[in-house]
Amino acid sequence: MQNNQLNYFITIFIVVGVFAYISLFGAFSKPVSLKASQGKLDLSGIDLSKTSPIRLDGEWEFYPMKLYSSSDFKNNAIQGTFIQVPKAWNYSDEWKHVIPTRSYATYRLVIKLENTNQIYSIKIPGIQTAYTLYANGKVLTRVGKVATNPKEAQPSSKNMLINFITDQKELELIFHVSNYHFSSAGIWTSLFLSTDQNLISLQNQNSYFELFLFGSLIIMGGYHLFLYLMRSKNKAAIYFAFLCIFIATRVLLAGETIIFSLLPFLTWFAAIKLLFFLFPVSLVLFAFFNRELFPDEFNNKLFYFNVFSALPYLVVVLAFDSYTISKSFIYLVIVILLQMLIYLYVIVKASFLKREGASVFLIGYIAILTSIINDILHDNGVIHTQYLVPFGFFTLIFCQAIMLAFKFTLAFFQVENLSDRLLKTNAAYRRFVPEEFLKFLNHKEITSVKLGDQVRKEMSIFFSDIRSFTALSEAMSPEENFKFLNSYLKRAGKPIQKFNGFIDKFIGDAIMALFPEKPEDAIKAAIETIRMLHSYNAHRIKFNYSPIKVGIGIHTGDIMLGTIGYQERMESTVISDAVNLASRMEGLTKYYGANILISEDVLKGLEDESKFNFRVLDWVQVKGKNKKVTVIEILDGIDEVNLKRYLETKPLFEMAVNSYILKDIEAALNIFKEVISKNPSDKASELYIKRCEYFIKNGIP
């Protein structure tokens, strides 16, 4: 079903693409080309009002580092030399070693016309970087300022449509061209000659189409921007939105250079900077866009290569002059070709792996790759076509539209097919409670659990929490977070089950467990958890992960187990002051640097407290309790060397704590220092020393 729909969309795309191609071919194949030879073009016998515009391609007279006027050519006083037009003189095999890129020259073409006293038009592309056009000795137009040195030259480049009338059968066109600001010099794009109506029609046709492309790209960019604002997690949408906007801006800067009509105050330097700025920035955005679409195939190495390979040229654009920018463009051309091959590899791989939308995007990528190659060759005068990147990108947008339609359709069918089963599954999960709760609530099946079921029982409450988990979590991706938590919780759950406990709930990285039988079960589970942590940390270190620490708090007391919520949504819970106290014990482990802390009630509930190594740590005031709660540290679970030190210093430590409680602060300080000298890893003693020093300095409250 899904493949049939996708094939249907692809078929539509191919049909539309073929018709679009035919239309574009028809639009851009209209101009006729009659080659000039040795500086002459014979149009006699051709009524320009009844034919398509004529390309003035072929051999033009060319005079490097000379600015000749019409009078200089009278009586054949100057021997002609020739150059192919369109072609930059610094790319011409004949002239590139004769005239430098930064220089000036004269172009001349003599045209025989059929009609006189008729309005003719000549369409001039953006000749780099300044020119003056003469027709039969009269100035028709000036763009920029032609000069024989860079100080006097003023660069400019824009498409021009010039109308003129001649009463002669022979039309002499002379171009004075100078270039000091761009890497390609001279006339390197075709000029057109026709009647004013024909060329106005051609220019309007091109302008309308470019405006259509511009509008389409802006609309699609705005649409994806709206998608991002509605769902900010969809980062691909914001990247695609800005790509559309940047390519739309490039449409205005290239071709008919419409931007100069919209922004007449825009300087040539600013336009060049903006045009070349769009290239590396678009490449960076394109990398982020592909990273969001195909994160598995477009791995970190490929992503960072594509991003950082574009940045050097961005620095060039921002820091250097127009000549250096255009001269360095060959670097970006190589980068673009490499990147497009990488993207082609990524999308082909994704297609083979049947990633969602990959097959459709493959068409768009091929279209944009082809258009980029065309534009590079066209820019360098290798071929003379049109700028096609906007068309290629428009194809990619069309593919994106197909994918949006496909996703909406697919989502509809998925919802329709899964709705019944999902309702039943959700109904069961809404009423889910831990299996052990069923026994205490005297139920055999989960379906018999009712809202408000409850039972009172004495249990030991066990809280464990990973220390500094927030910092640890922020250093990991969401996927790594879940893998880590599940890996840890799988190990941490086993000691609890082993010693007759059950997990009530997971609270992020924390575990709340209940031990209904004996308090010593909770202590044994805690000790086993600490020992498990040693082996788990060894495993983490082996794979270059940081070791983790866990704090465990235990308290024994009466609790109420039951269900809360409402009929359609309920969950099991434990309500008791004992739960809060167990949680407080776990929180104190961070403060005292302990692994396991228990309350005095846990210790009193032990049948044989000599089974465990422990020491009295402190007495703390707990909210809701009149008496202070005794905090006891379980020493078991640590390595033998440290355990021996703690046991050897236990009498001294407890003596120091007793002196501290009796407010004999100086005596307590001396004893704690003695403990530290014998057991430097005793964090609790360090804490007490700081307290004592504070009270000695500031007074005992």
What digits encode the pLDDT tens for the residues 591-636?
A: 999 999 999 999 999 988 889 999 999 988 877 677 889 999 999 9
* Better-scored residue on pLDDT, 408 or 155: 155
| Cα distance between residue 450 and residue 349, in whole Å | 53
| Cα distance between residue 316 and residue 339, in whole Å | 19
Rg, the chain, Cα only: 41
What digits encode the pLDDT tens for the residues 322-355?
A: 999 999 998 998 998 899 889 888 888 888 888 8
What digits encode the pLDDT tens for the residues 94-139?
A: 998 899 999 999 999 999 998 888 889 999 987 888 999 999 999 9
Using CB atoms within 10 Å of the CB of residue 101, give its burial: 0 to 12 exposed, 13 to 18 middle, 19+ buried. Answer: buried
| Cα distance between residue 213 and residue 219, in whole Å | 10
What digits encode the pLDDT tens for the residues 381-402?
A: 566 666 677 677 777 777 776 7
Compute the average pLDDT of residues 194-210. Answer: 85
Q: DSSP string spanning 270-319?
A: HHHHHHHHHHHHHHHHHHHHHHHH-TTTS-HHHHHHHHHHHHHHHHHHHH
Percent of the residues in the chain that have a pLDDT greater than 70, as a whole number? 88
Indicate if the pLDDT at residue 439 is higher than 80: no
pLDDT (0 to 100) of residue 495: 94
pLDDT (0 to 100) of residue 25: 44
pLDDT (0 to 100) of residue 10: 52
Q: What is the dihedral of CA 649, 651, 653, 654, to 10 degrees?
A: 160
| Cα distance between residue 80 and residue 103, in whole Å | 19
Strand 103-112 vs strand 130-135: parallel, antiparallel, or unpaired? unpaired
Tokens of residue 549, six digits: 């620490």
Using CB atoms within 10 Å of the CB of residue 211, give its burial: 0 to 12 exposed, 13 to 18 middle, 19+ buried. Answer: middle
Helix (H) or strand (E) holding 495: helix 478-498
Using CB atoms within 10 Å of the CB of residue 14, give its burial: 0 to 12 exposed, 13 to 18 middle, 19+ buried. Answer: exposed
pLDDT (0 to 100) of residue 105: 96
Indicate if the pLDDT at residue 32 is higher than 70: no
CB neighbours of 401 closer than 8 A, spacing ≥ 6? 220
Angle among Cα 571, 576, 582 to the nearest 5 degrees reads: 105
Indicate if the pLDDT at residue 178 is higher than 90: yes
Count CA within 13 A, CB hemisphere, residue 287: 23
pLDDT (0 to 100) of residue 66: 94
